[in-house]
Structure 1
Amino acid sequence: MQISFSGLRALVTGAGKGIGRDTVKALRDSGAQVVAVSRTKEDLVSLSKERPGIEPVCVDLGDWEATERALGNIGPIDLLVNNAAVLLEQPFLEVSKEAFDRTINVNLRSVIQVSQMVAKGMIARGVPGSIVNVSSIVSRAAIFCLTSYSSTKGAMDMLTKIMALELGPHKIRVNTVNPTVVLTHMGRRVTNHTELAKYLKERTPLNKFAEVEDVVNSILFLLSDKSAMTNGSGILVDGGYLAC
C-alpha cells in the first residue's frame, strides 16, 4: 500500500529517538515536510543529516512556557504525531511527586498543549487533519512498577476519544497506536528485566516484541486518507497480547 504525504506538513514530537525518529524519516520519505521536535539537540543534528530538509525544534515539552515559545508560531500543520514520552520506573508505594509530575507533563499535558495549537490552526485554515497519539498496551493491562507511565497512557486513550468527538466536526481525526514492548532504547529497559520480558513474550501469541517499523506503519496508516473513517479508535500493535 503506497501512501503519499506530498504537499502536507507534519509535526512529530519525541523525534530524536525510536518510534519518533523513524516516523520522521518515513514521513519525509513519503513526501511530507516535517517539523521534528526533541529535547536533545544532538539527536536533531544527526536526524537532520539523515533527512535533509526537516525542520528541527529543540524544546522540553514538559515545560509549558518553553513549548509555547517554540511552537506557538510553528505555522500550518496537517499531520501531528504526539510521541514524546518519559518512562520512570517506580513501584506504586514509592511513586514520587517529582516523577509523577514529570510523567504527566511530558506524556499527557504536552499532548493537550501541542494538539490545541495544531488543531486551532487547522480549524482556522478550514482544512482536514489527522492526529495520532502514541499510547501503549499498558493503558489497558497492568504491569509492575509503571504506575505513572501507565496512568498517562490510560488517560491518553480517553483524551483521544474526547479529541475525536470534539474535533471530528472540523474534519480532524484523532486516533492512537497502542504497541507492546518495542525494541527501542526505552523498550530495552523493559527487556532488561529478564523475568518480566519472558512473561510478556510468552503471553503474546506471536511470541515476539514489536519492531519500530511495525508501529511506524500503523502511524502512517492512521495519518493517511487510507483510514478516512477511523476516528477515536486505536490500533493494537501487540502481537495479540490483549487477546488473551
Structure 2
Amino acid sequence: MLTSLASSASPLPLGKLLSLRGRAAIVTEADGGMGTAIAQRLAEAGADMLLCGLNLCTLEKTCEDLQHCFGIDAQPLALDLSDPDAAYGLIRSATKHFLHTDILVNNAGIFPANPTRGRLDTAWDRAVNTNLHTAYEASRELAKCLQAQGKPGVILNILSIASVTSAGNPGDYLATKHILASVTKNMAEELGPLGIRCLALAPVRILKPAVALTPDVAAMMATNPHTRQAFEDYIAATLLGKTAQDDEVATIALFAVSEMARFISGAIIPVDGTDYLVH
C-alpha cells in the first residue's frame, strides 16, 4: 500500500526541480565572496532577487551582470545589517518590488578578531546584530508575509562549521553561530506547518590568498601569528585536503532552496570537506 501511494505522484523532471523561475530571493552580503556566488547560482536557476550589502557600486554591477546573463530582475540595496532595524527595511524593500518573495538567504556575517579578555561591548553588539539579530528578524518578517499570502518559502541561514565545533574561533562569533543554528531548528518546527522550510549550511571558512582576505580575517592574522598556521592545519585535516571555494558552497545553497531539497527542513548541512562529527 505504501509503495503504491509513493509511486502514484509523478516525479518532477530534473530541470523543474532545480528551476527557480517565477520565484524571488533575498541574498544578504551579496557584494562579494560567497554572497555573490550564491546570487549567481540562484540567478542562473531563474530567480529574481534583491541583493543586499554595504557596497552599492559593487551591488549595482553584480545586478547588471545577472540581468544581462540570465534575464532576471535583480535589485541592489545598500544596507548596514548591524543596524537593529535593518531587517524591516530589507523585507519591506523586497516585498514592495517583487510580487512574491519566497527565498531568504541570510549570508551576512562578520568575523571579529576579539579575544574574550580584550572584547569591547560595541564589538559584541555589532557581531550579535549582524550575525544573529538581523537574520532572525528578517526570517520572522518574511514568514509573516508568506503566511499572509498563504505561500510556501525557504529560509537558508549560512552558518559556519563553527556552529557545531569551536574550531578556534572568537567567542562572539561562536555565540552568534551556535544560537543561529538553534534558531534554524526552532523556526523549522514552528514554520513547517505553513510550508516554510528552514535549514542552514555550515561551511568551513574560505581561506584565500593574503591579498583577498576579508578585513576581519586579515586583522586576526595580523594580531595572532598562529592563526594562518591554524587555518592551514585545518585545511590539511579535511578529507579532501583543500579549502572550499565560494561556488562549492553556492551550489549547495542552490540545492537547499530548490525543490531538490523539498523534504529537507531543520537540517544543518556541513560543507567543510570533513566528517565534523569526529573533529
Correspondence 1:92 to 2:107: no
Residue 74 of structure 1 is matched in structure 2 by 94
Kept after mapping to 2: 8 A contact 1:91/1:144: no
Kept after mapping to 2: 8 A contact 1:91/1:145: no
**Which one has a bigger Cα radius of gyration?**
2
Correspondence 1:40 to 2:55: yes
Percentage of matched positions with identical amino acids: 29
SS in 1 for 2:105: strand
Taking structure 2 as the reference length, the TM-score comes to 0.82
Greater alpha carbon shift after TM alignment, 176-185 vs 221-230: 176-185
Residue 186 of structure 1 is matched in structure 2 by 214
The ranges of structure 1 where at least 4 consecutive aligned residues each deviate by more than 2 angstroms after the TM superposition are: 64-74, 183-194
Correspondence 1:18 to 2:33: yes
Where does the alignment leave 5 or more consecutive residues of structure 1 unmatched?
none
> Aligned in 2, Cα 1:154/1:170: closer, same or farther, shift over 3 Å?
same
Cα distance, 1:17 vs. partner?
1.1
Cα distance, 1:243 vs. partner?
4.0
Residue 112 of structure 1 is matched in structure 2 by 136
Taking the aligned partners of 2:164 and 2:112, their CA distance within structure 1 comes to 18
Correspondence 1:138 to 2:162: yes
RMSD: 2.0
Taking structure 1 as the reference length, the TM-score comes to 0.93
Residue identity in the other structure for 2:245 = E
> Aligned in 2, Cα 1:151/1:203: closer, same or farther, shift over 3 Å?
same
Residue identity in the other structure for 1:27 = L
Taking the aligned partners of 1:54 and 1:73, their CA distance within structure 2 comes to 12
Kept after mapping to 1: 8 A contact 2:111/2:217: no
SS in 1 for 2:154: strand
Correspondence 1:83 to 2:107: yes
Aligned counterpart for 1:211 among listed residues 237, 245, 253 = 245
Greater alpha carbon shift after TM alignment, 11-20 vs 61-70: 61-70
SS in 1 for 2:94: coil
> Aligned in 2, Cα 1:66/1:233: closer, same or farther, shift over 3 Å?
closer
> Aligned in 2, Cα 1:233/1:187: closer, same or farther, shift over 3 Å?
farther
Residue 19 of structure 2 is matched in structure 1 by 4
Residue 169 of structure 1 is matched in structure 2 by 193
Taking the aligned partners of 1:153 and 1:66, their CA distance within structure 2 comes to 19
